[in-house]
Amino acid sequence: NAGVTQTPKFRVLKTGQSMTLLCAQDMNHEYMYWYRQDPGMGLRLIHYSVGEGTTAKGEVPDGYNVSRLKKQNFLLGLESAAPSQTSVYFCASSYWDWSSRTEKLFFGSGTQLSVL
């Protein structure tokens, strides 16, 4: 049971290049999320998904696209990278635990992206 796995862990892009970040979870969770974290700030939600085939915008969706073709995978794409997208990106998945009546959120280890 690997939990939430993000690839790659580090990436350097030039302005205008494109790339895809992959998030995979093996816990059969319905909900998945992409956040970005900038220095001295909390996490900001980019996009999220409440199930396979569904996606929705978060707080800061501009410049990003996502897809959830399979339940276990949530992809984050940058079509034309900009220096303002330099950040640490976190993927997460969650489920509702009926026995404890709590939501349990699990994060990946993050991807450090630099756009030059």
Answer yes or no whether residue 88 interacts with other proteins by CB under 8 A.
Answer: yes
Rounded to whole angstroms, the Cα distance separating 45 from 3 reads 20
Answer yes or no whether residue 70 interacts with other proteins by CB under 8 A.
Answer: no
Nearer to other proteins by Cβ, of 14 and 39: the residue is: 39
Rounded to whole angstroms, the Cα distance separating 108 from 25 reads 9
Among 42, 69, 98, 99, binds other proteins (CB under 8 A): 42
Rounded to whole angstroms, the Cα distance separating 75 from 69 reads 9
Answer yes or no whether residue 74 interacts with other proteins by CB under 8 A.
Answer: no
Answer yes or no whether residue 31 interacts with other proteins by CB under 8 A.
Answer: yes
Nearer to other proteins by Cβ, of 59 and 79: the residue is: 59
CB atoms within 10 A of CB 64: 19
Answer yes or no whether residue 19 interacts with other proteins by CB under 8 A.
Answer: no
Note whether 23 and 75 are within 8 A (CB).
Answer: yes
Residues making contact with other proteins (CB under 8 A): 31, 33, 35, 40-45, 48, 50, 58-59, 88, 90, 92, 94, 96, 102-107, 109-110
